[in-house]
Structure 1
């Protein structure tokens, strides 16, 4: 969905929330729509390819997405994104929770009539 008169852009955090967990080099992000009616928007735009591009600067080697339609959410598993893991990384904070905010800042296209 590209921006037009019928479409507007907004940050993902306006439609969804996330939880994160990390183990070694693997990051697990759980993303859930606040409103189940918005689940199809998330499913269409939060793709493995798009996440691979979003986290490329972190060295992600693989992204897997597991849809959870009954929960209006998805489980996202990213490999090799934690730059050595929480205890081994030289960066200030390699915890997965900080990377969930990167995900939630992603711009998504929504119908212009959508409230949120």
Structure 2
């Protein structure tokens, strides 16, 4: 074996601990103030639009390349917008309603 994992230094969590942490994060997000929630939702839309525009700019003049490569490149660049949403913890619809806190029924329906 080329390497040996040092399991004592790694932070492993049991599935029930992970589920509890996901529920706590969901409760925190459900109790966000209305203004902050709208600001985060607006930013998520901006980031997705930025990724779409960047994808369009990159794939505009790729006529000399194959269709598969141009679609791959456009999809790769578009995912940059999704990465911005995840890194900044912006409120995108699919992240708010399809994560682990849906199982705990801790939703804020305003």
Instruction: Identify the TM-score tier after normalising by the shorter chain.
Output: under 0.3
TM-score (norm 1): 0.27
Higher helix share: 2
Q: Which has the higher strand share?
A: 1
